Each structure stands twice: as structure tokens, then as C-alpha cells.
Structure 1
């Protein structure tokens, strides 16, 4: 997992030409150390672009003040500064994210963990300042003592910790906010939209001209950006996790920002990227990480067992081999 944004931005909007009385509005901005882009089909009765932009900015700003680990005054930062055996009343967003984290951890039998921040810092991924290192075994074991999502619990409106752990929700935060922005758009009478936040994306409805929203899933290359697959979305979110945007190489080995919570080491296998389609952007965000951690064999078995719509992209020398699950094929077969 990586801070402050977990998912690699693999989905880019494809726009087309159309003739219609309806129009597509768009707002963009910065959030979570990256960017967002929100498009929707304007119709009679929908808010003005400026109004909706202000509302979305407020949603994102409030969320940042609640969950950011990059500012000392956020609710989550203040919780992280507390010692073991402490509890603190937290906003609903934090409690919901931790709740989803527990679900993902249980479903994946420990391959998902919201307390990996100290490991990211140890390996030099915290902040992406280029100071990546391979720690020695003693250092690694010491930091592992401060990792463990099982030490977190929710009691009513309070978040509690039984050990000196720190919470970092960046693995699912962007997907969570995609869902929240979508809920806001629906409440404002907007049913055709494409919401993208730091690479996590969800789209539904039809564009003017009765065409679907389309996205391009990139090929997991280090050197250039190239479309691997074009997918139509109508109510699905898409999330991709990969090892090719945030990594370092040492003595001929690639160390990515995705960690095995048990060993405390970056995952190292031939699985280059995993794309997940799901009706929840937050769940897609988390599941793409889970599958990448599990790897090509165990991840595939997990995806089949849990009926996850996932596209596995594996390295084969200098080439890439795609392996879609049956659920992924069923959702995208109309694209062929």
C-alpha cells in the first residue's frame, strides 16, 4: 500500500463527439495529494456547475480534515498520536473506513491491513522522496511489532487501539470518496456521471447521444502509457493496483509499494497489475490491493471463490499476459 494515494491511476476517461441539447459538465481539482475529475450530464433542474463544484470541494476538504495522515490536526492523525489502550470519538468516515478494513482483512485472512504506515516509512515509500532502502532483518522485526489491524476496534462512535498502531486508510480512501461523491450527485438529481478521484473511478448512465461512459485500462508498463483494454461502465467502479508506478530496484530486484502485512516486505511475483470492477468503489479499491498482495495463484483462487470481477495482468518476460475472471468477462464481453 502507498501513501497518500493507493491506487495507480490506470483508468482514463475517453471522450467523444456528440450532438444533443444535453451537455456534459466537468469540474477538476486537487485532493489527497493527487487530482480529481468529475463529469456529469446536465439537465433541467440540476445545480449550476459552480455550485456543485463548491459542494464537492467542501466534501473533499472535510474528508481531508478527518482522515489525512499528512496533517497533524486531522482526526486520524490525533488518534495515531495517542498511546496504546486509548479510545477517541471519531467521525463517521473513519469508523466506516475501519469497518470496511476489518471486512477486507477477514475476507482475505490478513492480506489487507490499515496499519502499514510504519512499514512504508521504513522502506522509504512514505512521501515518495526517493530514499528507498532495504532494511535489515532486525529493523524490520522491530517495526512489525507496531503493525496489526487486529489491534483496532470500534466501540460505538469511538475508535480504540490495544497496541501502539497507526491507522492509514489510503488503501480505500479514494474509492470511499468516489462513492460519497456519487451519492451526492444522485441526491442532486444527477444520474449520468463519471467520478474519478486519484485514479479510482465510477460511472453510470448514458452520455448525450446515448453512448456509455468508457475508460481505458492501461497496460502496466514502466516506460509509457498504453491502453490495454477499453471498458464501458454503467454503475460499476473500477480500481487497479499495480507494482509499476511506485517502486525501486536494488541488486536487480524490484520492490513495490504493495506490502505483505505478515512479512513486512513488498510482494514480489509476476503479477504486475490487477483491475477490479465492483458496484462499490471503496470495495473495488480494497479488493484490487488484496488480489495484488495474494499474487497470481492465491489471488486468482480468492477472486473465483468470492466471485470478484477481476483482470489479472502478469509479466511474461517483456510481454504481458491477461487473465480475466469469469465475472470480469461477463461484465465486459460486450466490448469485444
Structure 2
């Protein structure tokens, strides 16, 4: 059962992100400022995490140096504040489905960065290495399919959409001109690039400071302050800071408590157990969930290209996970053999899981 926990947590994280894509898109269509949203979201997450960090890690957490605090601050700036603000701007210009789809560039970028930093390996002479390469190719093919092939749309079975809004333009309406659509897609790709950097940096930070809950709390606190100054620069109209008691409040509470709070902690747990690439390769699942949920809740049309792209991405996901699982089994076997044969000399194993 313990071996299945990372996979179960991985699916749960993507379900939480599905809610983020759908609910935040509904709130933006309802008029919520994307800059103000980030401030309130991170503040809500901090309110949740600070008491938990004090209760559970007040005595067990190792001391923090100034240099480590600076690293956490920079990670919050890159992996949360910058990427979240860019992503939300892109989401306004496009749709929840596109937002989830562009997030699937994360595995490719993260894997490339992990290779450069020697946090990940890929031996094309082995079956596991070929499976990883095939998985990345399938993910890229899925992204290209969604981006360049729309195809016919499927008629919705349900015509009542609980979170739909009359000003929503999620079905390629006038508000979503080709220029704005391309602009939004470009901004989203930039956001996922910075998010990928954040995943890799988080893996490095966890090696230096293993207290996941306190680390997540500090990131949320730093990003709250950073996002506040960003919002003060770009959103000076005081009326835009007022929150309606509808989808706007729901989006802030859900994304603050569930996404920024719970999911960030679970991400840190997953990265610590399996590495950043393992987490990043699960993003295709969120696309499948988002296509279904955005159609039901927002009334977004499901196109054939989205379905085909989703199938390719899920195939790529399981191909890479199979390759990583195969390598883990071989690595553990090598460790056991070396330990048994060289125990008297106190030799250390050269094989380290990510």
C-alpha cells in the first residue's frame, strides 16, 4: 500500500487542479481581478498553513539560515507569484481547457531542466529509457494535436451549466479574437516555464531543508507579500478589491485552502518521494478531468482534437511512469546486491533515487 501512495496522491493533486482551472475561470468571467485573486488566494493559504506549521513543526524543524530564507523567497517569486500571475492573465484570454492543456508543457521543460541538473537520467539503450523518451514524445504529440487540430465539437448532453456566465467567451466568441487567443497561449507557456523552474528548485530546496510543511508555509507567506505589491502596481482601483459572495469568494477559498495550501504541501511530499519529473508527468490527467468538468460546469465545447490530444498525453504519462518504475526496481535491486556483497567494507551505494 505504501508503494501506491505517491500515485494516489498524484491523482488527487490533479483533481484539485481541475477545480482550480474551472472555478477560477468562472470567477474571472464574472469580473474578478486576476491580480487581486492571487493576493487573497495566497493569504487564505497562509491563514490555513501558519497554525499547522506552528503546531506540528515548531520543535522538529531545523533552524533557517538567511541564505536559505533568501532561496525560499526567490522560489516563491518564481514558482508562485510570477507563474500564477502570468497564468491567470493567460486564462482570461483563453479557456479552462486551454489552460489545462498548456500545463502539459511542464513535463518536457521539467525533464529537460532535471537532466541539465543531473537530477534525472535517460539511457536510450535501456527499455526504461526508451519508455521515458516515448512518453515525452507522446506528450508533445498530444500538445500539438490540441494546439493545431480542433475538429468537430461534441454535442453536450447537459445544457445547464452551474458556473456558466453570460459574459463568458470560452467558446471562441468575439472577446477571444485570434490575436488575444495567441497572446493568452504565449503567456500561459511562459507561466508553465517558470512553474517548471519552480518544481526543480523545490526539489533542491527539499534536499537542503526537509521540513515540507514549514517550507510550504514560508513560500505562501512570501508570495502573499510579493503578490500584494504586484497587485498594488497593476490594480489601483479600490473597487476591484471588493469580493462578491458568489464564484469570486468560492474561487479564493478553494484555491487558497485547497490548491495553495493542501496541494502545495502534497506536491512537496511527492517531489521528496519521487522527484520533480514524477509530479510533472501527471499533468495530462488534469486535462482530461478539466475537459469533462469545464463542459459540464462552464459550457465549454469539447472538440475532437482535445479528446485525441488527451489520449496521447495520458499514454505518455503512463509510459514515463512505467519507465521510472522500472528504473526504481533495478536501482533497488542493485543497492541490495551491493549492500550484501560489500557490507564488511561499509561501502555506500552509488545508486540514488531522484
Give yes or no for TM over 0.5. no
Q: Going by fraction, where is helix more abundant, 1 or 2? A: 2
Q: TM-score, normalised by structure 2?
A: 0.32
Q: Flag the structure with larger Rg.
A: 2
Q: Going by fraction, where is strand more abundant, 1 or 2? A: 1
Q: TM-score, normalised by structure 1?
A: 0.33
